[in-house]
Amino acid sequence: MTDRIVMSLEEVDALVRHALEANGASPVQARAVARIVTMAERDICESHGLFRVPGYVASLRSGKVDGKAVPVLSQPAPSVIAVDAKKGFAPLALETGLGPLADLAHETGVAALAVRRCHHFAALWPEVETLAEAGLVGLAVTAATPMVAPAGGTRPLYGTNPVAFAFPRDDQPPMAFDMASAAMARGDIMIHAREAEPVPEGVGIGPDGAPTTDPAAVLAGAQLPFGGYKGAAIALMVELLAGAVIGDLFSFEAGRGLKDGGPPEGGEFVLALDPARFGHGRDWVARAETLFAEIAAIEGTRLPGDRRIANRAKTARDGITAKAPLLAEIRSLAGEPT
Amino acid sequence: MTDRIVMSLEEVDALVRHALEANGASPVQARAVARIVTMAERDICESHGLFRVPGYVASLRSGKVDGKAVPVLSQPAPSVIAVDAKKGFAPLALETGLGPLADLAHETGVAALAVRRCHHFAALWPEVETLAEAGLVGLAVTAATPMVAPAGGTRPLYGTNPVAFAFPRDDQPPMAFDMASAAMARGDIMIHAREAEPVPEGVGIGPDGAPTTDPAAVLAGAQLPFGGYKGAAIALMVELLAGAVIGDLFSFEAGRGLKDGGPPEGGEFVLALDPARFGHGRDWVARAETLFAEIAAIEGTRLPGDRRIANRAKTARDGITAKAPLLAEIRSLAGEPT
């Protein structure tokens, strides 16, 4: 097993900011990315944590991402907020749009946020959790580069096309899930490949179109959607929302871009709902708790996101552990002594 | 094989209206249900067609459904339409709300419709197709009675909790999918049970919690979500949207109601988006066509709903075929000579 180094969350945050700023990102862009990476490490979501930093840096070095971009906010319709990320990273564009989106949803009952021309390389649960912490129900989807075969197909067309959803809870963090419409998240397959561990059957096919459990073959071939044609329908819906609806690229178009290992260009669709504006006068958060209690009463079940929330107590106390070679690589990218 | 009787779509519509009116439904309630049943037969979606009529009638005879209910429309927030179905059937309540929802979405960019206190027994693609025909993107979800086990669980809690989505197309019917978050639609399992045909593995578990391919055992035990815990997360999201958000029952609550074989009481959440109001100025329908063309270019693929659309040409020309015993039963319920 690779050596692991203990770090505090503050050290993670500072290192990521430093690595990005040292490679041309503005302090605000770097801070927004560092916040998201640190949240992933806090929740022990390794595949969206420090693991992504070399990719962020590569996209700055290649010039694909504008590390100094200033997102521009607009309101094209009474219940729609748009943010042009100006080819910067997604986190700052999302921060720019989420506050206005939340205000608008509280006012109109339902509102949408279109983030365009951003470079997304993170999980989606941070944005839907942010909405849920503001007392809203949040839904977010984004496309990526072609990695997943459509139903019945033998070559990739869709991104892993995650769907994230969050719901506020009484006196505890929101219930949130964030799942790829691929059978396995690409980050997890990348980690399997790095560790030379096979992936389960049904995760993907090789470049020859035949099923395989070799993660490297899946990365070179195509991932499969979860749940067959139904997961493929979800992936298609995500492409249409994050592509055609908001006016940004489909995965197959983003795949034509520069190959630097960093985040592709694309958009994100976010929806916010305020159930208090639906006219029923019910305590909707308490209502949801009755459902959560019914789920908990069935043996063997747990709510989505429970593990992440439990991890927070652990990392707040003990810090996180980073793999030594990855940490050395990031320090080197930051121009720090390794 | 059971004898089948050829009927025109007009004959289907008239028979359903007659069966419902003969059992106390108002002409407008009967007409709205008949329209939906006839659309299902038109598309050869047998499990939501005439097959459902005995259940509709049973719920009128038991007094559970108010066949003369007049839905009441309101607008609780600037982007939210609510319809109180007053314990009538869903189709008339949906008809009442869909026009105002479409108008609102064109005005504000995104709008939601909450249909409450209805009895739903139909597919959801008719409502999302209606929105797509009005030039909008439509999403609809509804819960039901407990039939599906949550992730890891061994007894039912969720309904089959369908998700329907539709997107307009150039010069042809909308692309629409409508899929249960259960591995198999309950109507299909009911048809398998009636025909004594086994269901595939992964569709459900028996009353003992053990996997089975016996459709009757699955109906008595629990269905399973599609795609494991990811499909279960979709089912949970549907419960929260169609229950807590809009202010109606969860499946486990609706399951406590009268058992007459008819539609349960519950609500439906519908979302409409107007991509033309998202400020990008792109021809979003044409953009989607480029994605559909990419999908079509991959061998082995087809778009969701293609088969239904193809069936329309066939049934418009040849009519539909109904099973003789079912037809006799419905005629008997209608007080017609069988």
Distances (CA, A) of B97 to A327, B90, B112, B274: 56, 11, 10, 17
Taking residues A44-58, report their average pLDDT.
95
pLDDT at B259: 79
Query: Which residues of chain A lie closer than 8 angstroms to B178, CB-CB?
Result: none
Please write the tens of the pLDDT for every residue from A106-121.
999 999 999 999 999 9
pLDDT at A338: 79
CA dist B70 and A134 (Å) reads 37
Where is average pLDDT lowest: A298-312, B30-44, B206-220, B257-271?
Answer: B257-271
B151 touches chain A (CB under 8 A): yes
Residue B154 corresponds to which tokens in the numbers above?
A: 């061994």
Residues 6+ apart with CB under 8 A from B331: B15, B19, B337, B338
Residues 6+ apart with CB under 8 A from A297: none
B288 touches chain A (CB under 8 A): yes
Query: Rounded to the nearest 5 degrees, what angle is found at the Cα of A304, between the Cα atoms of A299 and A305?
Result: 125
| Residue A1 predicted with pLDDT over 60 | no
Query: Which among B82, B107, B299 has the least Cβ separation from residue A278?
Result: B82
Band (pLDDT 50/70/90 cuts) for residue B1 is low
A248 catalytic residue (yes or no): no
Q: B280 and A229: CB-CB below 8 Å?
A: no
| Residue A275 predicted with pLDDT over 70 | yes
**Quick check: helix, strand or coil at residue B270?**
strand
Query: Which among B167, B247, B301 has the least Cβ separation from residue A240?
Result: B167
Catalytic residue, from A26, A47, A79, A332: name it. A47
DSSP characters over B75-135: EEETTEEEEE-TTSBHHHHHHHHHHHHHHHHHHHSEEEEEEEEEE--S-SHHHHHHHHHTT
CA dist A164 and A261 (Å) reads 24
Q: Work out the minimum CA distance from B2 to partner chain A, whole angstroms.
A: 31
Residues 6+ apart with CB under 8 A from A233: A151, B165, B177, B179, B304
A114 touches chain B (CB under 8 A): yes
CA dist B26 and B21 (Å) reads 6
Judging by beta carbons within 10 Å of its beta carbon (0-12, 13-18, 19+), is residue B1 exposed, middle or buried? Answer: exposed
The single residue listed with the structure tokens 């991890």 is A311
Band (pLDDT 50/70/90 cuts) for residue B168 is very high
For B288, nearest residue in chain A (alpha carbons):
A244
B120 catalytic residue (yes or no): no
C-beta neighbour count of A316 within 10 angstroms: 11
Which stretch of DSSP H or E encloses residue B185? none
Residue A286 corresponds to which tokens in the numbers above?
A: 């308490």
Query: Which residues of chain B lie closer than 8 angstroms to A237, CB-CB?
Result: 165, 177
pLDDT at A187: 80
B203 secondary structure, DSSP code: S
| Residue B152 predicted with pLDDT over 90 | no
pLDDT at B258: 67
Q: Which neighbouring-strand residues pair with A268?
A: A115, A142
| Residue B328 predicted with pLDDT over 90 | yes
How many residues does this entry show for chain B? 338
Q: Work out the minimum CA distance from B331 to partner chain A, whole angstroms.
A: 37
CA dist A299 and B69 (Å) reads 41
Tell me whether strands A110-119 and A265-273 are parallel, antiparallel or unpaired: antiparallel
Query: Which among B76, B241, B250 has the least Cβ separation from residue A277?
Result: B76
Query: Which among A79, A287, A298 has the least Cβ separation from residue B244?
Result: A287
For chain B, give the percent of residues with pLDDT over 70. 99
Within 50-89 of A, beta carbons closer than 8 Å to B belong to 74, 76-80, 82
Within 212-271 of B, beta carbons closer than 8 Å to A belong to 226-231, 233-234, 236-237, 239-241, 243-248, 250, 252, 271
Task: Say if residues B176 and B125 touch (Cβ distance below 8 Å).
Answer: yes
| Residue A255 predicted with pLDDT over 90 | no
Query: Which residues of chain B lie closer than 8 angstroms to A227, CB-CB?
Result: 183, 226-228, 230-231
Query: Which residues of chain A lie closer than 8 angstroms to B183, CB-CB?
Result: 227
pLDDT at B257: 67
Q: Work out the minimum CA distance from B141 to partner chain A, whole angstroms.
A: 14
A79 catalytic residue (yes or no): no
Taking residues A100-111, report their average pLDDT.
98
Backbone conformation region of residue B319, classed left if phi is above 0, alpha if psi is from -120 to 50, else beta: left
| Residue A15 predicted with pLDDT over 60 | yes
Band (pLDDT 50/70/90 cuts) for residue B129 is very high
pLDDT at B151: 85
Q: Work out the minimum CA distance from B57 to partner chain A, whole angstroms.
A: 29
Q: B252 and A167: CB-CB below 8 Å?
A: no
Best of B113, B169, B291 to disrupt the A interface (most A CBs within 10 Å) is B291
pLDDT at A42: 98
